[in-house]
Amino acid sequence: MQLTIDRKSFIEILAEGQGDVSGAMPPPPGGLWGLPPEILQTLPGYGPDVQANRAEARKLMENHGYGPDKRLRVKVATRNIAQYRDPAVILIDPMKEIYIDGELDTVETANWFPKIARKDFMVGANLSGSGVDDPDAYFYEHYACGSERSRPVAAARLAGRGPRKLRKSYGSRQ
């Protein structure tokens, strides 16, 4: 799914073009920890050629048995408020280009966080952000072992290497 997203179109639609493509952290020059464009573009789905990204995604889907005649059906769950619902609706359209048919599943806010905690969703369109440009909070919330949103593979790779130590690997932004 990462390969089918046209990030510039998302920014055009949702922020009226007032934004920059970035990863988890705010982009440079304002964001000290954001990946510079030349590195960001090397990540899957962040390259400038959206059609080439989608061709790669279709190939991956075909390798798993999907195609124009056999499509993957998913529900895209999100909170039933505009700032969550709008990106989820926009996500569903480009998924069609890689043999994925998405159906919007809106969830009332009171039920959203328990649903996420139970991992009771196929695709979850959620917002995540940090009030400051500091990787520590983001790192520990999303990658540290034991956090509720931990990504186990990344957490295992990064065990014992907090963001300050990782700076040596990825370069200082200060």
Element (H, E) at 40: helix 37-40
Residue in the structure block whose two tokens are 């009332």: 108
Which DSSP state fits 134? -
Structural domain of 64: 7-127
Same domain, 30 and 84: yes
pLDDT at residue 160, rounded to an integer:
53
Same domain, 99 and 151: no
CATH number at residue 14: 3.10.105.10
Q: Tell me: the pLDDT tens digits for 31-47? A: 888 888 999 999 999 99
pLDDT at residue 129, rounded to an integer:
63
Residue 1 inside a domain? The answer is no
- Find the mean pLDDT for residues 56-66: 97
Q: Tell me: the pLDDT tens digits for 106-149? A: 999 999 989 988 989 999 988 776 666 777 777 766 666 665 55
Predicted model pTM? 0.75
| Conformational region of residue 16, where left means phi above 0, alpha means psi within -120 to 50, and beta covers everything else | left
Residue 44 inside a domain? The answer is yes
